Structure 1
Amino acid sequence: MYEDSWYSFVPEVPQHKRNLSQGAGHRRRDSLLQQENGTTQVPNGLDPLRSLYEEEPYSDSPPEPTTSRRSKSCSSFVDIAGGRREADGASRHKKRKGRRKAFTWEALDLPSPGTTPLEEDHSLLRDVDDELLKASQAEYLLYHEQLTVTERHLDTLIDDTNRALKVLASLCDSFRSVEDQTTAFRSQCEDLLSDQKRLQTLVDEVGSDLHYYTYLDNVSRRLNAPGASRLVDDDVFSEILSNLDSCIHFMVQNPTYRDAESYLARYQALMGKALHLLEVGFTARLEKASRDISAKLAASQSESAKHALAYGRFEELMEESYSLIPNVQKVILSAYDEFGNAKRDDNFGIYVNTAKNLFDVFLSTRDRDLKPLIQQELDELRAEVKDASVETASRNFIKQYFERSYSEAGLFSKLFGISIRYSPDEASVYGVLKSHHRSPSNPVNIVPLATSLQGVLQHCGLETVCSVVGWATNEYGLVEYDEEETEFSRHCRELTARLLTDHLWPFTDSAFEAEIAQSISKHVIRPETLTIGPVTDGVASSNAYPPVKRALELLVLFDQSMPKDRCQRNSPVVFKIVMESIAVLRRVEARMKSAKSNTDADLFMIKNLLILKNELLSLEIGDVRSQAPEMQHFGQIWDALSPQGLMDLLSTFSSYIPGSSFWSQSARRASPANGRANGRGAAELDAGEQLDNLLRQAIYSFTRRWAQQINDAQARKSGARSLAEVEAELDEMIERAFSNQTEVIAKLKEAIQLNAEALRKPKQAEKGIQSRENESV
């Protein structure tokens, strides 16, 4: 508001001395309040009136600082006192002298004529006092003037500030009134804006809904134009499909709108026409690519060149179009996701029909193009079967088919934008492609492969079939934990699973059943085979009955060719092997007893049934183990055969067989109370239980019969052989059947001794009763 010069108005104190208008010889000294900027120059001829200053002038300034002197010692008090007395005397003497001098000057001062001396002195004193007062107040008057000016300025500032505060107060009141008015206006504006937004929303909704009606004329003109077929190779076609899809979805969601059904039918017809144009364009592109590579494939002799033409060149020709393939992928992905699972929405049926048509024309074209390659692979398979071996030819054919199928799957994914994954849903891409059984170029179709393999393997032996099936299972069906799975391995594993499950495993089961019927079920019983030969090379199964030997071979072969899970489940092959072996042994046993053969029928059953049971335990229904020279599981078997109750020895035997519950053919169990189970009861039993029942009955019959002969020999009955002859015959028979199998021999002899003791106890008790009766009589 004010400049800074107002606050620095006080002028600087002049450096020169003001000349006092006083008489010569009576000048007053400068004020002690003024700071000296230098030595004061006294004018020439003027001396200060020192005689007027008898006393020091009064000053408000503090005294000059002096340094306090240290007190002296006591020894100098005398000097101090003497010096004081001398100083006092000198001062009195000087005072008297000064008074005398003053009185002398006064006496010499003679008054001038015409004035009295007293009046002149008083006037002179008054002038001097006035001058002295003015001289002493000069500096203070300057300060007073400066303070007065400053006070005046401050008063002005205060007045201006008060006026400014009043203006500000009035402005505040004005702002408050404006704010009140603005708040009301703002609320009105907000209401107007909300109404505007609501109206805009309504307009947008009406415009959006109206768009689904107004789009009909536009899309009708575009699809019915003469050059509409060219739209499928443009980005505009994708936009048309999206808009049609949105319009159809809107009409389906709002059936109560005006003419919704009519517009829905017209939009669906336009959608069908657009998709038909896409099918025509895709078919034309396929034909063009097929004509380009078919002749070159037929003329080429190199495998690499054929592969490059069939896949690399074909893919380039298909992708030469501008937007045809992206439009095809858009249609396919409107019906399926990226893994081929079906999207069940409003337009699913329309898109699915188009997708199936596109798949059909693609597979038909590929079958026509790849026919020379497929025929060449079949010719190589037949040539290798004749020249090399069936197993080698089958392996090579499977590898070639899997590689070609993987290449076809890659081409299919690039053209249609879908990665084919296994799905049990028939509406998925996997289910749609699976239905094309006649297409050899189908990436998921393994029917041609299975048909070719079965045609080659049906004339081979069972061992060759099992070798091919086992190789396919181990090569592609099993996943190694230390290997990283690739797309090729995943594709091969899926194809192998379907090939084995749907074709090769049933084919192998049929081959096993035929072999079982030929070598076991229809085995002709010859008299020379109704014996137990000696054990050769320490192998326990070397003297087994020939059908039982073949059953063991079939069990091992089936276990090697099949995965562990399939062997442990309800396998009809394993069940039939065991049941047919038991049936053959029962027929042989009956033949021995009817023909009164020299071979012990019970020991024959024990020998063969133990071998069959031990083999099942060794394999663990899938765990292949090397054949041991002895029945290493006989201890486990015999522990279940409790000698204390031979009729209940094998009641818990099936619990020692892994997966024994899977052997069941019926929930009912036949009761073995009436001896050996008949044919009908045997069919209703588990295979493991029937085997246990037969083994228990054979052991009981054999041990009880020989225990009776031992008791008769010890009792020396008439017609009975001696104990040495009985024991020698028993030892020879057991040693011949179970040579070098000390555990089996020891357990059988122990069971015979227990039976002998059990047979003697009732007789001893009967004799005791008779003796007591005789004594009483």
Structure 2
Amino acid sequence: MYDHWVVSDFQEQRPAPAPGPQPSGHRRKQSLLQPPNGAAETDITLPLSTLAEDRDDPNTPPEATLVRRAKSYSDLYHIVAAQTSRGGSKKKRRRKGRNAAWEALAIPDPPADLFEGDLYGDILEDELLEASQQEYTLYHDQLAMTERHLGTLIDDADGTLQVLETLCQSFRAVEEQTKTFKAQCDDLLSEQKRLQVLVDEVGTDLYYYSYLDNVTRRLNAPGAGRLVDDDAFGEVLENLEACIAFMSKNTSYRDAEAYLARYQALLTKALHLLEVGFTNRLDKVSAEISKHIAATQSESARHALAYGRFEEMLMDGYSLIPNLQRVVRSTYDENGHALSNPNFDTFANTATNLFHAYWAARDRDLKPITQHEQAAFKAEAVGPSTESGVRNFVKQCFERSHNESSLFRRIFAVESQFSSDPKSVFAALKAQYRGGLVTGTNIAPIATNMQSVLQGSDLRTICNVLGWLTNEYLLVDYDEDETPFANHCRELTARILTEHLWTFTDAFFEAEIAKSISRGVVPPEALKIGPPANGEASSNAFPPVRRAVELLIMFDQAMPKERCQRDSPVVFKIVKESIASLLRAEARIKSTKNNSTDPDLFLIKNLLLLKNELLALEIGDVRSSGSLTNMQHFGQIWDTLLRRPHNLMGLLGSLTTYIPGSSYWSSASRTGTPVAGASGGGGGAEVQDASEQLDEQLRQSIYAFTRRWAAAVNEAPAGARKAGGRSLAKVERELEEMLERAFASQPEVVGKLKEAIQIEAAQQAEGGKKGGVRG
């Protein structure tokens, strides 16, 4: 709002238009009031009133009015309202048709007396219109320019598409015309590839022929021996193997057989060079090591020389040991098993020669050490210290064998572990080396020295040594971590026992059985059943039976339970000879007059002891005198023998389970007759199973004893009335004394026998001949 307008100042401050050409951009049109010849505005002579445009033009700005100044901000609202109501209706009617842009300007009309004419108003109106529409005009021009560009692009794209369509049609035409030529080119390329493959195959095949001259010159050269210590030796072996395989596969090629024979001869020559080189290296190292070992007496120094220094000197070289390992690994895998190789025989023969040269050198170098250890062992294992000496010697040998196996593995890159394959490393070493050095395959020195010492010992010492070996190394302890040394010791122990010591011990047992059971001298007083000593059931037993029980206990302690149960002829012979000895003693008792010993009770007493011990050993509860004192298996024996007398074949199956070595108990025929009352050397065992013989003999003895004493009980009342007859009380007293003397510490046995006698007596009294305890 303005207090007043100063028209003259405004006219003076308005800049005059610049002379000369105007820019071509968006600008206001040139005023029509300016003369065409560029005359100045001051030269116009026409009055302003005649040039002024119509005031009612919608593009004219509003007229300026004088607005009263507000006294305060609160009076502003009233002043504006009064000014608006003063001539607002007329202005609104004129502004309804105006552009919205002019309404936004909201410029009040100047006072009527502000201008002297309409010329300046028109100029101001054009300038204001141009200023307000300049932004929109520029945007409009830009849109128009963009539209022209887009139109040009569309026209160019249409032209390009037409050109491309023309090119596509041209290419189609060319493709149709060159299809035949392309097919011919493809055929030519295929033929070229086929010829190239054929040329390559011919060149490859020719290589297997041309390589002969090259390898022949290399292997026959004066310095060919040095080739084995070079990496090129491995390539020579590989190429020779490839040539041999090619000639063996393509036997129809020209001179294939001749080339095959020459290549095989060259392979043999190359391997022979390797053998010579390795032997020379061994001799050189052995001469140095053996000299130092003989010069020192220290065990630690000898061990360091024999293993550490020997390995260091042998491995010191370029490629001799790697080439040697390559030859061995071409024949065997890392575990020593044979590989399927067309040249297996050639490589295996070379490997065997290498092994032989190696062990010969080791045996020669360590001979002073092994002789010293063997001499010390024989001096220590004398008298009571035999067991401790054997244990120390075994531990020492196991440690040396493990060291030798580890050294062998590092040199030849294979294991020498046990294998039943005749082509394995183990079989090659076992059949080849039999020296005095203990190795993983040569355990003969351990067994030979142990047997030489144990030969003069008693059977108890031998069983103790075998029991220690079995429990210390053979039985697996799952609580401890498995180590290579433990596995190696277990393997050696199993081989020593199965190949040497078990057979050695069985021979001792058989000699003892023949000495104390089969041919043992039995005095007359041994045929009587005396009172037991210290309550032990075995104290008044027949001496051969007592010795048989002791042998069974020792055998079970010395052997694994599996061997006792399955394949031990010793147990079979103990039982067989014990029964034969008892039958001979029974015959002597019957033939002796005025003998107070009951022959049937004699057999029952000793056969029960023998069978009870067999059952105790089967369940793994091996006891000394305690197992015999309590007769803990008598109830099972009694039920088996007497409660099911008809099931003889069932008894066979159950007893062979309890008695070890069941595979040896079967005879050639199972149709023999019972052996009750047989005498002599136990010939019944030849026709029956030994377990059946034991059960049958025990059953018949019990039946004869109960039948005879049942008859005595039934005849006692009648005998009491006769002169010199026995009363029932006397018979019962005699029976009681006899049973108490035989089974003083086994009341269960006494009770069962009395019960059987009463049952038999009742049946005889009734006149029945059923035989309540028949077999």
Same fold, TM-score > 0.5, yes or no: yes
Report the alpha carbon displacement of residue 414 of structure 1 after superposing the two structures with TM: 1.0
Q: Is the 8 A contact 1:437 1:445 kept in 2?
A: yes
Q: Aligned residue for 2:392?
A: 396
**What's 1:641 paired with?**
641
Q: Does 1:603 align with 2:601?
A: yes
Contact 1:620 1:657 (C-alpha < 8 Å) held by counterparts: no
**For residues 508-562 of structure 1, what are the alpha-carbon distances to aligned partners after superposition, in whole Å with 9 as ceiling and x for unaligned?**
0000000000011111122121100111222111111111111111000000000
Which of 706, 710, 716 aligns to 1:703? It is: 706
Distance 1:37 1:257 in 2: 119
Picking from 491, 507, 511, the partner of 1:510 is 507
Q: 2:228 matched to which residue of 1?
A: 232
Shift in Å at residue 625 of structure 1?
Answer: 3.7
Tell me the residue number matched to 1:28.
53
**Which among 288, 293, 317 is matched to residue 289 of structure 2?**
293
**Can you list the C-alpha shifts for 1:692-728, whole angstroms capped at 9, x where unaligned?**
1111111111111111111111234645311111111
Aligned ranges for residues 343-382 of structure 1 at < 5 Å?
343-382=339-378
Structure 2 residue aligned with 1:268? 264
Q: Is the 8 A contact 1:649 1:696 kept in 2?
A: no
Deviation at 1:760, TM superposition (A): 1.3
1:744 maps to amino acid:
V
Cα distance, 1:144–1:465 mapped onto 2, change above 3 Å:
closer
| Alignment partner, residue 108 of structure 2 | none
Residue 687, structure 1, aligned to residue 690, structure 2: yes
CA 1:741/1:158 → structure 2, altered by over 3 Å: closer, same or farther?
Answer: closer
Answer yes or no: is the 8 Å Cα contact 1:469–1:561 preserved in 2: yes
Could you tell me which amino acid in structure 2 is paired with residue 655 of structure 1?
Answer: S
2:529 paired residue number: 532
TM superposition shift of 1:206: 1.8
- The answer to whether the 8 Å contact 1:338/1:418 transfers is yes
Aligned to 1:669: 670
| Residue 165, structure 1, aligned to residue 166, structure 2 | no
Query: Once the two structures are superposed, what CA deviation does each residue of 1:163-215 show, in whole Å capped at 9, x if it has no partner?
Result: 55224321342155347747958776665554444333222222221111111
Q: Is residue 330–residue 341 contact of structure 2 (8 Å, CA) maintained in 1?
A: no
Instruction: Classify 1:712/1:202 alpha carbon distance in 2 versus 1 (closer, same or farther; 3 Å).
Output: same
Q: Where do residues 73-92 of structure 1 align in structure 2 (5 Å cutoff)?
A: none
* TM score, norm. by length of structure 1: 0.80
> In the alignment, does 2:480 pair up with 1:456?
no
Change (3 A) 1:463 1:673: closer
Name the residue aligned to 2:110: none
Determine the C-alpha separation between the residues in 2 that align with 1:764 and 1:286.
89
For residues 541 and 387 of structure 1, the distance between their equivalents in structure 2, rounded to whole angstroms, comes to 30
Instruction: Mark the runs of 5 or more structure 1 residues left unpaired by the alignment.
Output: 1-7, 41-52, 67-127, 766-777
Matches within 5 A, 1:37-48: none
Alignment match, 1:615 = 613
Counterpart position of 2:726: 721
Match of 1:174 among 167, 180, 198: 167
In 1: Cα distance, 2:432 partner to 2:375 partner: 23
The farther-off stretch of 31-40 and 207-216 is: 31-40
Query: Could you report, residue by residue, the CA deviation over 1:109-128 in whole angstroms, capped at 9, with x for unpaired residues?
Result: xxxxxxxxxxxxxxxxxxx9
Aligned residues of 1:335 and 1:352 also touching (Cα < 8 A): yes
SS at 1:203 equivalent: helix
1:216 alignment partner in structure 2: 212
Residues 225 and 242 of structure 1: is their aligned pair in 2 closer, same or farther, counting only changes over 3 Å? same
Q: How far apart are the structure 2 equivalents of 1:278 and 1:737?
A: 80
Structure 2 match to 1:311 = 307
Does the C-alpha gap of structure 1 residues 667 and 135 become closer, same or farther in structure 2, counting only changes over 3 Å?
same
Give the C-alpha shift of residue 623 in structure 1.
4.4
- Residue 436, structure 1, aligned to residue 432, structure 2: yes
Alignment partners' CA distance in 2, 1:146 and 1:658:
115
Q: Counterparts of 1:570-609 in structure 2 under 5 Å?
A: 570-596=567-593, 597-609=595-607
8 Å CA contact retained: 1:575, 1:687 = yes
Letter in 2 for 1:735: E
The aligned amino acid for 2:558 is S
Aligned to 1:487: 484
Query: Which ranges of structure 2 fall in alignment gaps of 5 or more residues?
Result: 1-22, 35-40, 66-89, 105-118, 771-775
- Residue 326 of structure 1 and its aligned partner are, at CA, apart by 0.2
Which secondary structure does the structure 1 equivalent of 2:642 belong to? Answer: coil
Instruction: Tell me, in whole angstroms, the C-alpha distance in 1 between the residues paired with 2:173 and 2:340.
Output: 61
Q: Look up the SS of the partner of 2:428 in the other structure.
A: helix
Deviations 1:192-244 (A, max 9, x none): 55444433322222222111111111111111111111000000001101110
Between 25-34 and 719-728, report the one with greater CA deviation.
Answer: 25-34
Q: CA deviation at 1:305?
A: 0.5
Is the aligned partner of 1:478 residue 2:475? yes
Which shifted more, 659-668 or 10-19?
A: 10-19
Say which of 541, 545, 548 aligns to 1:544. 541
1:466 aligns with 2:463: yes
- SS of corresponding position for 1:375: helix
Is 1:522 the counterpart of 2:519? The answer is yes
- Percentage identity across paired residues of the two chains: 52
Q: 1:150 to 1:749 in 2, by over 3 A?
A: closer
Change in 2 beyond 3 A, CA 1:560/1:169: same
Q: Does 1:405 align with 2:421?
A: no
Answer yes or no: is the 8 Å Cα contact 1:559–1:623 preserved in 2: no
Deviates more, 1:31-40 or 1:209-218: 31-40
Task: Work out the CA distance in 1 between the residues paired with 2:359 and 2:613.
Answer: 51
Task: Give the residue type in structure 2 aligned to 1:566.
Answer: R
Cα contact 1:647–1:696 (8 A) shared by 2: no
Separation in 1, partners of 2:296, 2:611: 61
Worse-matched range after superposition: 173-182 or 590-599: 173-182
State whether residues 336 and 428 of structure 1, in contact with CA within 8 Å, keep that contact through their aligned partners in structure 2. Answer: yes
Q: Cα distance 1:33–1:329, how it changes in 2: closer, same or farther (>3 A)?
A: farther
Aligned residues: 683
**Structure-1 separation of matches of 2:466 and 2:133:** 132
Q: Deviations over 1:401-432 (max 9, x none)?
A: 11111111111111111022211011110001
| 3-state secondary structure, aligned to 1:389 | helix
Equivalent-residue separation in structure 2 for 1:536 and 1:625 (angstroms): 18
Q: In 2, Cα distance between the equivalents of 1:697 and 1:388?
A: 47
TM-score computed with the length of structure 2 as normaliser: 0.80
Question: What is the match of residue 563 of structure 1?
Answer: 560
1-side partners of 2:62 and 2:172: how far apart? 65
Q: 1:649 to 1:316 in 2, by over 3 A?
A: closer
Q: Do residues 339 (structure 1) and 344 (structure 2) align?
A: no
- Check the 8 A contact 1:335/1:348 in 2, yes or no: yes
| In structure 1, C-alpha distance between the alignment counterparts of 2:139 and 2:756, rounded to whole Å | 146
Q: Indicate the residue corresponding to 1:757 in structure 2.
A: 762
**CA positional deviation for 1:598:** 1.7
Amino acid paired to 2:697: L
Query: Aligned equivalents of 1:64 and 1:207: distance in 2?
Result: 99
Rate the CA distance shift 1:606–1:141 in 2: closer, same or farther, 3 A: closer
Please list, as runs of the form range in 1=range in 2, the aligned pairs for 1:46-125 lying within 5 A after superposition.
59=97, 61=99
AA paired with 1:382? K
Report the equivalent of 1:119.
none
Contact residue 381 and residue 394 of structure 1 kept, 8 A = yes
Deviation at 1:436, TM superposition (A): 2.9
Cross-structure match for 2:651: 652
Would you say the 8 A contact 1:713–1:726 is kept in 2? yes
Deviations 1:7-57 (A, max 9, x none): x986134799977986432312579665979999xxxxxxxxxxxx99959
Which has more radius of gyration?
A: 1
Identify which range, 235-244 or 668-677, moves more after superposition: 668-677
Tell me the equivalent position of 1:732. 737
